[in-house]
Chains A and B, each alone.
Chain A
Amino acid sequence: MEIEIQAGTEAGVPAPETAQERTVGTTLLEVSDLAVEFRTDDGTVRAVDGLSYRVEAGRTLALVGESGCGKSVSSLAVMGLLPATAHVVAGQVRYRGDDLLAMPRTRHRAHCGRHVAMVFQDALAALNPVHTVGYQLTESLRARAGMSRRESRRRAVELLDLVKVPNAAQRIDEYPHQFSGGMRQRVMIASALAMDPDVLIADEPTTALDVTVQAQVMRLLAEIQAERQMGLVLITHDLGVVAGVADDVTVMYAGRAVERSAVRDLYAAPAHPYTRSLLRSVPRLGTRDDGHDDAHDGARRGRLPVVPGRPPSPGHVPSGCPFHPRCDMARDVCATDRPPLAEVAAGRSSACHFADELLGGDRG
């Protein structure tokens, strides 16, 4: 498929000055030590605490964790879309070196959509019910780049073609409620791609969809990402989704990153007990797995193991390692000392006192 959207100049849209140097490995977005606090009736609550990650061109980073772990909040902070009760208390979000959080709101906003775009979870709620799909696809092009009505209609059709919505020419005049769930999510993706962003943040893009459609949408996202060499941040609670799509994984727990790893290494041997619990709770078909997965064989038959307990609410994070009350390897030190996120192997970090033990083949 041709990359129509990238040819921005042709339509009178100034091409992003940086678009041409989107070569694999360029760091596009760098989040460092991000901390976000919410004001609540019980005082301030830290939803994200010292999160760092890096998004490179042509690579997909998965942010994985249970609901409430801060993965969505952190991406809203990147986009400057935090609700009024929340604010960033520390950290930087650098887009190609410029700290988005340090600039005035309007300049930060101007980066959104054009350089960093976002796909939201529930497309029915996230699309405006009273505007046609075509309007919403090219709204930013018309309002921000001064594109004409006719040109924007043409572009809307291209965008729908790009995300493989059939009958694009007719469907741009329809409204979101006339689309099926999967098609609606494709529209959502297309609208985020309208200005050819460098980085796409997809917040649980397939959670609201049924399983077969999930796979299609995920494949589409992966294709588009590969084709444009975008940086993709995939936010999900489902490690099963991550395997086929992501390059790197950051596992979050209670507002912090607890493990950072290339996806293959993580599946081969998790370096944090929380990651291991998450992996065990991914259902898998077939009989035995080879080699590295045999730790789970005992549980393959019958019930799927779950992570015991509940994720802590951001207001009541346990002392020490926040995961220790649910951890099957917890020892005394875990309740008192919080392990830092430290490098445990080449390109891998883990926030566990006993990461070496985990990687050393110990079958807990």
Chain B
Amino acid sequence: MGRYIIRRVLLGAATLLLVTFVLHLLTTFAIQLNGSPALAFFGDRIPTDAQLAAVEERYGLDDPCYDQTGNPCLGPYVERLGAYAQGDFGTNLRGREVTDIVATAAPNTLKLFAIVTVTWFVLGMGLGSAAARWRGRSADHGIRMTSVLIDAFPIFVLLLVYRYVFAVPLSDWARSTFGDDSMVALWFRPSFDADHPWATVLVPGILLGLAGSAAFIRLVRASQLESYAGEHVRTARSRGLAERHVVLHHVVRNSSVPVVTAVGLTFTEALAGAVITEGMMNIYGMGGVLWEAVRGNDVALVVGIVTILAIVTVVVMLVVDIAYAALDPRIRYA
């Protein structure tokens, strides 16, 4: 197990290095082709050469390689890695530390993800297990229809419908029934409130989770059906164990391996969904910040946030790999 984890951690580190390098290449080529992003610092004003040079120096854009199209600019890359190692992710164009921005934005995104993950698990495990348990019966057909229906509504449609059709009447009703500051009124607030992050992120999180749950439901169903057909389930039944026990310890337990893997994969999908969700629900999170940074040509901020998102993703994958080994002894001893 120890060697397995070490191997996975090294692999994760290598992946991160590769991601940062590709990111660096992309931004470098963008700078070389589009001109210095330091210009964005001045907005509509036209800077003097001295002013421009000062800003370029401040953001590490003064290296002559940025003027040579096709030069991979390895020097600045190594410098940047050194800075990362010291926890320095640079500043945005307004001089605010990237780490500081992330520190305020990331907790909201993580809250969103937490709700999304819980929604997946509850819907996926609940409905998927029910569909597998009563295969071919009306419950199974109903659940499969529902999962197709969910797929037909992408996240932005769900959010639009919620925000413009349901949120206002629901929050009016909640405020008049439970009072302005009640928890229920906060749940249905159409936009994010930094003072009540959990309550206002709940409904968007559930909607984002719902949008991603369809594939999850089908996966849980398929993997449990495979377990039900397994001979070890027949053996467990031959021991006279109650059906509940058999389902829990031999069907659900065995099908948890592919399900956990899927959580890792769906997580990256949720990152994309988070950008849309945060944008539409005015949540101050990583997705919203990234969106603004790209629009504002704020290279340092884009690179910093994408790097941090890459770190989060690699860590999640690592956790999934370790959970995978913990759940399946055949992996552990391979």
Contact = CB atoms under 8 A, between A and B. Distances in A.
Given A125-B231, A128-B254, A130-B253, A139 B236 contact: yes
A200 to B, nearest CB: 11
A120 B234 contact: yes
Contact of A178 (B237, B242, B333): B333
Contacts of B249: 131, 139
Contact of B234 (A81, A117, A132, A192): A81
B238 A79 contact: yes
Interface stretch (A2-10, A104-112, A302-310): A104-112
Interface string B234-259: 11111111110100011001100100
B100 interface: no
Interface string A300-321: 0000000000000000000000
Contact of B237 (A81, A143, A177, A191): A81
A140 B241 contact: yes
A144 interface: yes
A175 B330 contact: yes
B141 interface: no
> By CB atoms of chain A within 10 A, which of B239, B245, B333 has the most?
B239
A139 B240 CA distance: 10
A118 B236 contact: no
Contacts of A195: 239-240
B64 interface: no
A195 B238 CA distance: 12
A194 interface: yes
A114 interface: yes
Contacts of B241: 109, 113, 139-140, 143-144
B17 interface: no
Interface string A81-121: 10000000000000000000000001001111110011010
B230 interface: yes
A144 B333 CA distance: 31
B239 A113 contact: yes
Nearest to A115: B240
Contacts of B239: 112-113, 117, 139-140, 191-192, 194-195
Contacts of A80: 237
A112 B240 CA distance: 5
Contacts of A175: 329-330, 333
Contacts of B263: none
A34 interface: no
B128 to A, nearest CB: 19
Contacts of A127: 232, 235
A81 B240 CA distance: 11
A277 B151 CA distance: 61
Contacts of A129: 232, 254, 328-330
A79 B240 CA distance: 9
A122 interface: yes
Contacts of A106: 242
B232 A144 contact: no
Contact of A126 (B231, B243, B327): B231
A178 B334 CA distance: 11
Contact of B330 (A110, A117, A126, A177): A177
The B interface, classified by DSSP as helix, strand, loop or mixed, is helix
Interface residues of A, number: 34
A80 B239 CA distance: 11
Given A120-B234, A126-B232, A109 B330 contact: no
A111 B236 contact: no
A114 B239 CA distance: 7
A117 B235 contact: no
A182 B32 CA distance: 68
B238 A117 contact: yes
Contacts of A143: 241-242, 245
A188 B236 CA distance: 11
Interface string B145-176: 00000000000000000000000000000000
A229 B317 CA distance: 55
A169 B238 CA distance: 25
B254 A126 contact: no
Contacts of A122: 231
> By CB atoms of chain B within 10 A, which of A80, A112, A126, A195 has the most?
A126
A131 B245 CA distance: 14
A143 B235 CA distance: 15
Contact of B235 (A110, A126, A178): A126
Contacts of B236: 128, 139
A35 to B, nearest CB: 21
Contact of B329 (A125, A130, A191): A130
Contacts of B231: 120, 122, 125-126
Given A126-B231, A128-B254, A118 B238 contact: yes
Interface of B: 230-232, 234-243, 245, 249-250, 253-254, 257, 327-330, 333
Q: Report the 3 A-B pairs with minimum CB-CB distance, sorted nearest first.
A: A113-B240, A112-B240, A128-B232
Given A81-B234, A128-B232, A144-B241, 7 more contacts: A109-B237, A109-B240, A111-B240, A117-B238, A177-B329, A178-B333, A195-B239
18 contacts: A79-B237, A81-B237, A113-B241, A120-B231, A120-B234, A120-B235, A125-B232, A126-B232, A128-B232, A128-B235, A129-B328, A130-B253, A130-B327, A131-B249, A132-B329, A139-B236, A143-B245, A144-B240
